[in-house]
Every structure is written in structure tokens, then in C-alpha cells.
Amino acid sequence: MMSSIRPDLTTRIHPEPPHTVDHFDLLPDSLLLSIFNIIGDVKTLGRCCVVSKRFQTLIPQVENVVVRVDCVISDDDATSASGTDKSRTPFSSFFRLVVGGIVKPIQAIGQFLGHKRLLTVGTNGNSDGDGDGEQLGGVTHHSPTQVLKNFSDIRFLKIELPSGELGIEDDVLLKWRADFGSTLDNCVMLGACSVIDKQNMQNLASSENSYDGIGGEDNGSIPESFYTNGGLKLRVVWTISSLIAASARHYLLQPIISEHKTLDSLVLTDADGQGMLCMNKEQLEELRVKPLSASSASKRTLVPALNMKLWYAPYLELPDGRVLKGATLVAIRPSEQSGQKEGSDGSWVSSAFEEPYGTAVRMLVKRRTYCLEMNSF
């Protein structure tokens, strides 16, 4: 009796494994590439590389890539600091971007396209990289140029700095956007001395000593106090600082643009939303054909002679209820473009920033316009 039961028990305890199909393997490469393009983030793509050989083969073909820089390191002392130093300004020594390695146990990411690393991993001084990175705090770092060299078909590239270069007070608003080819095409700067809540506006308006004459009558013109209490000087400093930051970013992008000829769009921004440098396909090709002119004073692109238009409002209410105190808009173009029709100004100025600042720009350009000029620097 027992002998007749045993075969049945054996069959039930140790059944033959059923034939399974990995449905993920049935997905076409085009669909997987679409998913990877939506992901974009270079570190996440690096982690995906270790999942399978198939992923490792497909990821170099990704067209939409985002590189988030972990820290900015001075060339003068690349091994003495890590992390972000918000006190740094573009007037300091030329900075270099580095991307920090992701933490263990993702060391297998080094298998990405052979022996070169997409992101080198290392902790406590332990790194088995190829020796091209910097050792900071026991973590091996690589520049965006090194990180991107394993991608062959990038079309849309975004690089994000950990913070803006301009050390400004917390309550000060300063935003800029610059478009470059081989040199500056245009730049828009939006600034305000402070951003305040609407309910506090009445107290500020009644103050006799309010900065930039906010307590005075707004007749659409810049008040006399703007010239005497340092208001104009402050705006000039904002403008020059923004241009220097933009030209330094542009200079940094040369090797990436030269190596990745499939690029259609390149954006270099920062996590603070302070500044954005943009280049489209035509501008990228222009830089490859016509090398940039470097500044003799520092490692940045030479800023050409400029014509500028300035708009000012002692206060400006945003759609979300906040109020910009001493709101200033500056639209900048090279002097050699001064012969172009003025009607073209509206598009690149009004579309420079996302909401609610786009509304602020459109409100400011309706006010009185002031023209300035600036020499090349």
C-alpha cells in the first residue's frame, strides 16, 4: 500500500518546473529605449546597465540624458573641498564640474560599455576605476565629459549644477537665461531686491525710507532715488555677474559639444533655478564651425559689446500673490545685432522664464524702456 502512495507523494513534493516565459524579454528594443529616454537621469541609467546585458547594450543609444552634478570643485584645490559652496561667485577661480560616484554596491556599473566607467563608484578611498577621476572624501568623481563619453546618440542633453554661481541673499530674486552660439546671442535677466507677501505690501508702501523708492508714487518711470541710493549700481552688478556666469558655463561645454555631434539641444542649468544656458541645433553647429573667443582674463567665453534694454517697477505683483520689490528686467543683445527689427524682441524676452516670472516679464516690458550700452569684456 505504501509503495503505491510514494510515487504520488514524490510527484507532489517535487513537481517538474513549468516552462516559464519572461514577458519582459518580449518587449521590443524601441519600447525599452522609449522608457530609458523618459528616465533620462544618467545615474539611474547606470544602475539599469547592471540589470542585464540587453540593457547594457541599449542604454548607450539613449537620446535624452540628464546629468545632475553633485559638487563643484575649484581647479586651485580640487582635493580640499567637496559638496556645494554657495558663497562662490563667478569672479573666483575657474570651477570644474564633477559628478560623484553613487554608493556601493553598484560597482558593477563599471561594466558599462567595456572597462570605462559611466560613474565611478568608491567609498572610504576604495575605487577600482580607471584612474581618470578625482578622489574627494573617499569617493571617485568624474566630470560630465567623462560621464557622457559612453553615450553615442545623445540628442537632448541637460546638465544641472547643484546651485547657482552667484552668491545672493536668500530674499533676493535673480534669474537669467542666455542663448549662445559661438558667442552670446541674447540674455535676459530678471531681478528684485526682495520677494514679499501681499499682506506685507501696505507696510512697505507706507515706509518713507523704502529701498528703490517703493514708497513713492509709481508713474511708470524710474525714481530719482534709484540713481542716488545704489539701485542702478546694483542692477549693473547683477547684469555683469549673470553674463560672467553664463560665459563661464558656455566655455565649459566645448568638449561635450565637440564630442557629441548628434546633439540637437543642450541646456546647462542649476538646481536653484538661478540661471539657464541654452543652445539649439543651429547654435551648436555654429560653435563647432566657428570656435569661441576666450576671455584673456579667465577661462570663459568673451562677452561682446552689448546693447541693453532695462525695465523697472518699484513693486510688481505676481499671479500667485507675491510681490517683487524693485523688479528689474534687462534684455541683452550683442551690438552687432542692433540693426535687427525690434519686433523680434518680444518672443525671446517674454518666453525666457516659466510662470509666474513669465507674467512678470510681460508686465515689465509694458513700462518705460531705458537703453544702455556695455563694452566687450
* Strand (E) or helix (H) holding 147: helix 144-148
Write out the three cell numbers for 65. 540624458
**Which is more confident, 167 or 7?**
167
Mapping DSSP to helix (H, G, I), strand (E, B) and coil, where does residue 168 land? coil
**Which is more confident, 115 or 264?**
264
Range scoring the smallest mean pLDDT among 20-24, 84-88, 188-192, 293-297: 84-88
Please give the radius of gyration of the chain, using alpha carbons only, rounded to the nearest integer: 27
Distance CA 209, CA 262 (A): 56
Q: Mean pLDDT throughout 299-313?
A: 94
User: CB-based contacts of 52: which residues, under 8 Å, 6+ apart?
Assistant: none
Segment 337-355, tens digit of pLDDT: 866 654 455 689 999 999 9
Segment 212-248, tens digit of pLDDT: 444 456 777 888 888 888 899 999 999 999 999 999 9
What pLDDT is stored for residue 118 in this prediction?
Answer: 32
Note the pTM of the prediction, 2 decimals. 0.75
User: CB-based contacts of 84: which residues, under 8 Å, 6+ apart?
Assistant: 71, 72, 162, 163
Distance CA 328, CA 26 (A): 56
**Which is more confident, 49 or 200?**
49
Taking 60 as the threshold, does the pLDDT of residue 167 lie above it?
yes
Taking 60 as the threshold, does the pLDDT of residue 314 lie above it?
yes
